[in-house]
Structure 1
Protein backbone atom coordinates (compact mmCIF):
# COMPACT_ATOMS: atom_id res chain seq x y z
CA UNK A 1 0.00 0.00 0.00
CA UNK A 2 1.50 3.37 -1.01
CA UNK A 3 1.84 6.34 1.34
CA UNK A 4 -0.93 8.47 -0.19
CA UNK A 5 -3.38 5.54 0.01
CA UNK A 6 -2.41 4.89 3.65
CA UNK A 7 -2.92 8.58 4.44
CA UNK A 8 -6.34 8.56 2.76
CA UNK A 9 -7.44 5.53 4.79
CA UNK A 10 -6.15 7.07 8.03
CA UNK A 11 -8.12 10.26 7.40
CA UNK A 12 -11.28 8.28 6.61
CA UNK A 13 -10.84 6.23 9.78
CA UNK A 14 -10.64 9.54 11.65
CA UNK A 15 -14.00 10.52 10.15
CA UNK A 16 -12.87 13.01 7.51
CA UNK A 17 -15.67 13.23 4.90
CA UNK A 18 -13.49 14.52 2.05
CA UNK A 19 -11.31 11.41 2.18
CA UNK A 20 -14.40 9.24 1.58
CA UNK A 21 -15.29 11.36 -1.48
CA UNK A 22 -11.69 10.93 -2.68
CA UNK A 23 -11.87 7.14 -2.31
CA UNK A 24 -15.18 7.04 -4.20
CA UNK A 25 -13.69 9.22 -6.96
CA UNK A 26 -10.61 7.02 -7.26
CA UNK A 27 -12.30 3.62 -7.23
CA UNK A 28 -15.92 3.92 -8.36
CA UNK A 29 -15.17 3.09 -12.02
CA UNK A 30 -13.14 0.03 -11.00
CA UNK A 31 -15.92 -1.20 -8.69
CA UNK A 32 -18.71 -0.52 -11.21
CA UNK A 33 -16.86 -2.22 -14.08
CA UNK A 34 -16.24 -5.32 -11.96
CA UNK A 35 -19.82 -5.50 -10.74
CA UNK A 36 -21.43 -4.93 -14.17
CA UNK A 37 -19.22 -7.69 -15.62
CA UNK A 38 -20.73 -10.10 -13.09
CA UNK A 39 -24.39 -9.04 -12.82
CA UNK A 40 -24.67 -7.89 -16.47
CA UNK A 41 -27.29 -5.27 -15.64
CA UNK A 42 -26.47 -1.56 -15.46
CA UNK A 43 -29.15 -0.56 -12.91
CA UNK A 44 -28.24 -3.42 -10.60
CA UNK A 45 -24.55 -2.58 -10.98
CA UNK A 46 -25.18 1.06 -9.99
CA UNK A 47 -27.10 -0.02 -6.87
CA UNK A 48 -24.46 -2.58 -5.88
CA UNK A 49 -21.65 -0.03 -6.41
CA UNK A 50 -23.39 2.27 -3.92
CA UNK A 51 -23.72 -0.65 -1.49
CA UNK A 52 -20.00 -1.39 -1.83
CA UNK A 53 -19.01 2.14 -0.86
CA UNK A 54 -21.56 2.21 1.95
CA UNK A 55 -19.90 -0.91 3.36
CA UNK A 56 -16.46 0.68 2.91
CA UNK A 57 -17.63 3.73 4.89
CA UNK A 58 -19.11 1.55 7.64
CA UNK A 59 -16.24 -0.96 7.83
CA UNK A 60 -13.16 1.23 7.25
CA UNK A 61 -12.43 1.20 10.99
CA UNK A 62 -11.70 -2.54 10.82
CA UNK A 63 -9.45 -2.22 7.74
CA UNK A 64 -5.94 -3.12 8.91
CA UNK A 65 -4.05 -2.44 5.68
CA UNK A 66 -2.87 -6.05 5.36
CA UNK A 67 -4.05 -5.99 1.73
CA UNK A 68 -4.19 -3.10 -0.71
CA UNK A 69 -7.33 -0.97 -0.57
CA UNK A 70 -8.17 -1.99 -4.16
CA UNK A 71 -7.90 -5.69 -3.19
CA UNK A 72 -10.34 -5.12 -0.30
CA UNK A 73 -12.72 -3.23 -2.62
CA UNK A 74 -12.60 -5.99 -5.24
CA UNK A 75 -13.48 -8.57 -2.56
CA UNK A 76 -16.48 -6.55 -1.35
CA UNK A 77 -17.64 -5.81 -4.93
CA UNK A 78 -17.43 -9.47 -6.01
CA UNK A 79 -19.18 -10.73 -2.86
CA UNK A 80 -22.04 -8.25 -3.25
CA UNK A 81 -22.40 -8.93 -6.99
CA UNK A 82 -22.53 -12.70 -6.47
CA UNK A 83 -24.98 -12.26 -3.59
CA UNK A 84 -27.22 -10.15 -5.83
CA UNK A 85 -27.15 -12.88 -8.50
CA UNK A 86 -28.13 -15.55 -5.96
CA UNK A 87 -31.06 -13.43 -4.75
CA UNK A 88 -32.26 -13.01 -8.35
CA UNK A 89 -32.06 -16.77 -8.96
CA UNK A 90 -34.14 -17.41 -5.84
CA UNK A 91 -36.75 -14.91 -7.07
CA UNK A 92 -36.86 -16.62 -10.48
CA UNK A 93 -37.37 -20.05 -8.89
CA UNK A 94 -40.16 -18.63 -6.73
CA UNK A 95 -41.81 -16.99 -9.78
CA UNK A 96 -41.56 -20.29 -11.70
CA UNK A 97 -43.29 -22.16 -8.84
CA UNK A 98 -46.01 -19.48 -8.72
CA UNK A 99 -46.61 -19.91 -12.46
CA UNK A 100 -46.93 -23.68 -12.02
CA UNK A 101 -49.70 -23.08 -9.51
CA UNK A 102 -51.63 -20.76 -11.79
CA UNK A 103 -50.19 -17.39 -10.76
CA UNK A 104 -49.84 -15.07 -13.75
CA UNK A 105 -46.92 -12.80 -14.53
CA UNK A 106 -43.98 -12.87 -16.87
CA UNK A 107 -40.49 -13.47 -15.54
CA UNK A 108 -37.47 -12.28 -17.52
CA UNK A 109 -35.05 -15.20 -17.74
CA UNK A 110 -32.62 -13.87 -20.33
CA UNK A 111 -30.06 -11.31 -19.17
CA UNK A 112 -31.00 -7.79 -20.26
CA UNK A 113 -28.81 -6.00 -22.75
CA UNK A 114 -26.25 -3.86 -21.00
CA UNK A 115 -23.31 -1.62 -21.87
CA UNK A 116 -19.90 -2.32 -20.40
CA UNK A 117 -17.68 0.80 -20.20
CA UNK A 118 -14.66 -1.19 -21.43
CA UNK A 119 -16.35 -2.53 -24.57
CA UNK A 120 -16.15 -0.58 -27.82
CA UNK A 121 -19.38 -0.22 -29.82
CA UNK A 122 -18.09 -2.29 -32.75
CA UNK A 123 -17.27 -5.17 -30.37
CA UNK A 124 -20.61 -5.07 -28.56
CA UNK A 125 -22.12 -8.12 -30.27
CA UNK A 126 -19.04 -10.28 -29.61
CA UNK A 127 -18.90 -9.02 -26.02
CA UNK A 128 -22.56 -9.93 -25.49
CA UNK A 129 -21.81 -13.50 -26.63
CA UNK A 130 -18.80 -13.70 -24.30
CA UNK A 131 -20.70 -12.33 -21.29
CA UNK A 132 -23.53 -14.80 -21.91
CA UNK A 133 -20.99 -17.65 -22.07
CA UNK A 134 -19.39 -16.43 -18.82
CA UNK A 135 -22.71 -17.00 -17.04
CA UNK A 136 -22.47 -20.72 -17.91
CA UNK A 137 -19.08 -21.49 -16.33
CA UNK A 138 -18.33 -22.17 -12.62
CA UNK A 139 -18.25 -19.15 -10.32
CA UNK A 140 -14.54 -19.21 -9.42
CA UNK A 141 -13.51 -19.60 -13.07
CA UNK A 142 -15.79 -16.71 -14.03
CA UNK A 143 -14.36 -14.40 -11.35
CA UNK A 144 -10.74 -15.23 -12.24
CA UNK A 145 -11.40 -14.72 -15.97
CA UNK A 146 -13.27 -11.43 -15.37
CA UNK A 147 -10.49 -10.02 -13.19
CA UNK A 148 -7.80 -11.10 -15.65
CA UNK A 149 -9.27 -10.43 -19.08
CA UNK A 150 -11.75 -7.64 -18.34
CA UNK A 151 -10.09 -5.84 -15.40
CA UNK A 152 -6.54 -6.54 -16.63
CA UNK A 153 -5.20 -7.82 -13.29
CA UNK A 154 -2.26 -10.21 -13.09
CA UNK A 155 -2.38 -13.63 -11.42
CA UNK A 156 -0.74 -12.38 -8.21
CA UNK A 157 -3.36 -9.64 -7.79
CA UNK A 158 -6.19 -12.08 -8.53
CA UNK A 159 -4.75 -14.57 -6.00
CA UNK A 160 -4.82 -11.82 -3.32
CA UNK A 161 -8.43 -10.88 -4.14
CA UNK A 162 -9.66 -14.48 -4.28
CA UNK A 163 -7.58 -15.47 -1.24
CA UNK A 164 -5.95 -18.34 -3.09
CA UNK A 165 -2.55 -19.22 -4.60
CA UNK A 166 -0.92 -17.98 -7.79
CA UNK A 167 -1.03 -21.54 -9.19
CA UNK A 168 -4.71 -21.98 -8.31
CA UNK A 169 -5.45 -18.83 -10.34
CA UNK A 170 -3.44 -20.22 -13.27
CA UNK A 171 -5.53 -23.40 -13.10
CA UNK A 172 -8.82 -21.46 -12.85
CA UNK A 173 -7.91 -19.33 -15.88
CA UNK A 174 -6.92 -22.38 -17.94
CA UNK A 175 -10.20 -24.13 -17.08
CA UNK A 176 -12.21 -20.95 -17.74
CA UNK A 177 -10.64 -20.58 -21.20
CA UNK A 178 -11.34 -24.25 -21.97
CA UNK A 179 -14.99 -23.95 -20.81
CA UNK A 180 -15.51 -20.73 -22.78
CA UNK A 181 -13.88 -22.17 -25.89
CA UNK A 182 -16.41 -25.04 -25.91
CA UNK A 183 -19.35 -22.72 -25.29
CA UNK A 184 -18.27 -20.18 -27.93
CA UNK A 185 -17.43 -22.92 -30.45
CA UNK A 186 -21.02 -24.17 -30.19
CA UNK A 187 -22.30 -20.62 -30.72
CA UNK A 188 -20.18 -19.97 -33.81
CA UNK A 189 -21.04 -23.37 -35.28
CA UNK A 190 -24.70 -22.34 -35.12
CA UNK A 191 -24.04 -18.91 -36.65
CA UNK A 192 -23.79 -19.98 -40.33
CA UNK A 193 -27.13 -21.80 -39.98
CA UNK A 194 -28.71 -18.63 -38.61
CA UNK A 195 -27.33 -16.58 -41.50
CA UNK A 196 -28.55 -19.11 -44.07
CA UNK A 197 -32.05 -19.11 -42.60
CA UNK A 198 -32.11 -15.28 -42.84
CA UNK A 199 -31.05 -15.38 -46.47
CA UNK A 200 -33.84 -17.78 -47.53
Structure 2
Protein backbone atom coordinates (compact mmCIF):
# COMPACT_ATOMS: atom_id res chain seq x y z
CA UNK A 1 0.00 0.00 0.00
CA UNK A 2 1.46 3.36 -1.01
CA UNK A 3 1.47 6.50 1.13
CA UNK A 4 -1.53 8.18 -0.56
CA UNK A 5 -3.67 5.06 -0.04
CA UNK A 6 -2.60 4.95 3.60
CA UNK A 7 -3.42 8.67 3.97
CA UNK A 8 -6.87 8.08 2.47
CA UNK A 9 -7.54 5.15 4.80
CA UNK A 10 -6.58 7.31 7.77
CA UNK A 11 -8.86 10.07 6.49
CA UNK A 12 -11.72 7.61 6.04
CA UNK A 13 -11.29 6.20 9.55
CA UNK A 14 -11.18 9.71 11.01
CA UNK A 15 -14.30 11.06 9.23
CA UNK A 16 -16.58 8.23 8.10
CA UNK A 17 -18.67 8.18 11.30
CA UNK A 18 -19.07 11.97 11.13
CA UNK A 19 -20.32 11.73 7.52
CA UNK A 20 -22.61 8.79 8.27
CA UNK A 21 -24.17 10.54 11.29
CA UNK A 22 -24.71 13.75 9.33
CA UNK A 23 -26.38 11.83 6.49
CA UNK A 24 -28.48 9.81 8.94
CA UNK A 25 -29.65 12.92 10.76
CA UNK A 26 -30.33 14.71 7.51
CA UNK A 27 -32.05 11.88 5.60
CA UNK A 28 -33.41 9.69 8.45
CA UNK A 29 -32.73 6.56 6.45
CA UNK A 30 -29.98 4.06 7.28
CA UNK A 31 -29.50 2.73 3.74
CA UNK A 32 -29.37 6.22 2.23
CA UNK A 33 -26.91 7.35 4.91
CA UNK A 34 -24.66 4.39 4.10
CA UNK A 35 -24.90 5.17 0.38
CA UNK A 36 -24.12 8.85 0.94
CA UNK A 37 -21.12 7.94 3.12
CA UNK A 38 -19.76 5.73 0.37
CA UNK A 39 -20.39 8.39 -2.31
CA UNK A 40 -18.72 11.09 -0.22
CA UNK A 41 -15.53 9.09 0.22
CA UNK A 42 -15.43 8.09 -3.44
CA UNK A 43 -15.55 11.80 -4.28
CA UNK A 44 -12.98 12.63 -1.58
CA UNK A 45 -10.65 9.95 -2.95
CA UNK A 46 -10.91 11.29 -6.49
CA UNK A 47 -10.73 14.97 -5.47
CA UNK A 48 -8.18 14.90 -2.65
CA UNK A 49 -5.34 16.12 -4.87
CA UNK A 50 -7.46 19.14 -5.90
CA UNK A 51 -8.28 20.08 -2.28
CA UNK A 52 -7.14 23.70 -2.07
CA UNK A 53 -6.93 23.97 1.74
CA UNK A 54 -8.87 27.25 1.82
CA UNK A 55 -10.97 25.52 4.47
CA UNK A 56 -10.26 22.68 6.85
CA UNK A 57 -10.48 19.11 5.62
CA UNK A 58 -13.41 18.51 8.00
CA UNK A 59 -15.32 21.48 6.55
CA UNK A 60 -14.60 20.33 3.01
CA UNK A 61 -15.89 16.82 3.78
CA UNK A 62 -19.00 18.24 5.52
CA UNK A 63 -19.73 20.36 2.45
CA UNK A 64 -19.42 17.33 0.14
CA UNK A 65 -21.71 15.30 2.43
CA UNK A 66 -24.34 18.05 2.56
CA UNK A 67 -24.25 18.46 -1.22
CA UNK A 68 -24.72 14.70 -1.65
CA UNK A 69 -27.68 14.76 0.80
CA UNK A 70 -29.26 17.70 -1.03
CA UNK A 71 -28.75 15.99 -4.39
CA UNK A 72 -30.41 12.80 -3.14
CA UNK A 73 -33.39 14.73 -1.73
CA UNK A 74 -33.79 16.66 -5.02
CA UNK A 75 -33.60 13.40 -6.97
CA UNK A 76 -36.23 11.75 -4.78
CA UNK A 77 -38.50 14.80 -5.03
CA UNK A 78 -38.20 14.91 -8.82
CA UNK A 79 -39.10 11.21 -9.02
CA UNK A 80 -42.15 11.90 -6.85
CA UNK A 81 -43.25 14.74 -9.15
CA UNK A 82 -42.89 12.52 -12.20
CA UNK A 83 -44.99 9.87 -10.52
CA UNK A 84 -47.70 12.41 -9.72
CA UNK A 85 -47.78 13.42 -13.40
CA UNK A 86 -48.31 9.88 -14.56
CA UNK A 87 -44.94 8.18 -14.81
CA UNK A 88 -45.33 4.85 -13.07
CA UNK A 89 -42.55 3.65 -10.83
CA UNK A 90 -41.24 0.15 -10.40
CA UNK A 91 -42.09 0.55 -6.72
CA UNK A 92 -45.22 2.63 -6.09
CA UNK A 93 -44.78 2.18 -2.36
CA UNK A 94 -41.70 4.48 -2.44
CA UNK A 95 -43.78 7.37 -3.71
CA UNK A 96 -46.92 6.89 -1.71
CA UNK A 97 -45.37 6.36 1.71
CA UNK A 98 -42.86 8.47 3.57
CA UNK A 99 -40.03 6.43 5.08
CA UNK A 100 -40.26 5.71 8.75
CA UNK A 101 -37.35 7.00 10.75
CA UNK A 102 -35.39 4.01 12.00
CA UNK A 103 -32.49 5.56 13.94
CA UNK A 104 -30.76 2.73 15.79
CA UNK A 105 -30.08 4.80 18.91
CA UNK A 106 -33.66 5.81 19.67
CA UNK A 107 -35.47 3.93 22.40
CA UNK A 108 -38.79 2.42 21.45
CA UNK A 109 -40.85 4.60 23.77
CA UNK A 110 -39.40 7.76 22.19
CA UNK A 111 -39.63 6.57 18.60
CA UNK A 112 -42.96 8.28 17.88
CA UNK A 113 -41.81 11.60 19.32
CA UNK A 114 -38.48 11.41 17.48
CA UNK A 115 -40.23 10.64 14.20
CA UNK A 116 -42.50 13.63 14.76
CA UNK A 117 -39.50 15.85 15.48
CA UNK A 118 -37.64 14.75 12.35
CA UNK A 119 -40.76 15.07 10.20
CA UNK A 120 -41.07 18.63 11.45
CA UNK A 121 -37.37 19.37 10.85
CA UNK A 122 -37.88 18.14 7.28
CA UNK A 123 -40.54 20.82 6.72
CA UNK A 124 -38.02 23.63 7.27
CA UNK A 125 -36.58 25.49 4.28
CA UNK A 126 -33.35 23.82 3.13
CA UNK A 127 -30.94 26.46 4.54
CA UNK A 128 -32.71 26.50 7.91
CA UNK A 129 -32.73 22.70 8.06
CA UNK A 130 -29.03 22.50 7.21
CA UNK A 131 -28.03 25.16 9.75
CA UNK A 132 -30.23 23.57 12.45
CA UNK A 133 -28.95 20.02 11.85
CA UNK A 134 -25.32 21.14 11.84
CA UNK A 135 -25.80 23.26 14.97
CA UNK A 136 -28.15 21.33 17.20
CA UNK A 137 -27.63 17.74 16.09
CA UNK A 138 -24.05 17.69 14.81
CA UNK A 139 -22.85 20.22 17.41
CA UNK A 140 -20.85 22.46 15.09
CA UNK A 141 -20.14 26.05 16.09
CA UNK A 142 -21.65 28.92 14.12
CA UNK A 143 -18.26 29.82 12.53
CA UNK A 144 -17.84 26.18 11.42
CA UNK A 145 -21.35 26.12 9.96
CA UNK A 146 -20.71 29.43 8.21
CA UNK A 147 -17.65 27.92 6.56
CA UNK A 148 -19.50 24.75 5.52
CA UNK A 149 -22.47 26.68 4.10
CA UNK A 150 -20.43 29.57 2.64
CA UNK A 151 -22.44 32.14 4.62
CA UNK A 152 -21.62 34.74 7.25
CA UNK A 153 -21.80 33.88 10.95
CA UNK A 154 -24.68 36.35 11.38
CA UNK A 155 -26.59 34.63 8.56
CA UNK A 156 -26.10 31.29 10.34
CA UNK A 157 -27.30 32.78 13.63
CA UNK A 158 -30.39 34.07 11.87
CA UNK A 159 -31.08 30.74 10.14
CA UNK A 160 -30.74 28.78 13.39
CA UNK A 161 -32.93 31.29 15.25
CA UNK A 162 -35.66 31.15 12.58
CA UNK A 163 -35.45 27.35 12.45
CA UNK A 164 -35.85 27.08 16.23
CA UNK A 165 -38.78 29.51 16.23
CA UNK A 166 -40.48 27.67 13.37
CA UNK A 167 -39.91 24.28 14.99
CA UNK A 168 -41.21 25.52 18.32
CA UNK A 169 -44.41 26.78 16.71
CA UNK A 170 -44.96 23.68 14.56
CA UNK A 171 -44.12 21.23 17.34
CA UNK A 172 -46.37 22.92 19.89
CA UNK A 173 -49.27 22.47 17.47
CA UNK A 174 -48.33 18.85 16.73
CA UNK A 175 -47.87 17.91 20.39
CA UNK A 176 -51.31 19.31 21.22
CA UNK A 177 -52.73 17.03 18.50
CA UNK A 178 -50.52 14.16 19.72
CA UNK A 179 -51.75 14.51 23.31
CA UNK A 180 -55.39 14.60 22.19
CA UNK A 181 -54.91 11.23 20.46
CA UNK A 182 -53.58 9.59 23.64
- Note whether the superposition's TM-score is higher than 0.5: yes
Say whether 1:90 aligns with 2:78.
Answer: yes
Correspondence for 2:59 among 52, 63, 71: 71
Say whether 1:17 aligns with 2:12.
Answer: no
RMSD of aligned residue pairs (Cα, Å):
2.1
Secondary structure in 1 matching 2:22: helix
Counting matched residue pairs gives 179
Residue segments in structure 2 that go unaligned for 5+ positions in a row: none
The aligned runs of 1:1-200 (5 Å cut-off) are 16-98=4-86, 105-106=92-93, 107-115=95-103, 119=106, 123-195=110-182
Secondary structure in 1 matching 2:86: helix
Report the TM-score when normalising by structure 2. Answer: 0.90
Deviation at 1:78, TM superposition (A): 0.3
Mapped contact 2:131–2:160 kept (Cα < 8 A): yes
Mapped contact 2:100–2:115 kept (Cα < 8 A): no
Residue segments in structure 1 that go unaligned for 5+ positions in a row: 1-13, 196-200
Instruction: Name the CA shift for 1:96/1:57 in 2 (closer, same or farther; >3 Å).
Output: same
Q: Deviations over 1:128-184 (max 9, x none)?
A: 221110110100000000001100111111111111111111100110001101110
Report the TM-score when normalising by structure 1. Answer: 0.82
Give the Cα–Cα distance (whole angstroms) in 2 for the partners of residues 127 and 73 of structure 1: 27
Deviation at 1:92, TM superposition (A): 1.0
Instruction: Name the CA shift for 1:41/1:152 in 2 (closer, same or farther; >3 Å).
Output: same
Between Structure 1 and Structure 2, whose CA radius of gyration is higher? 1
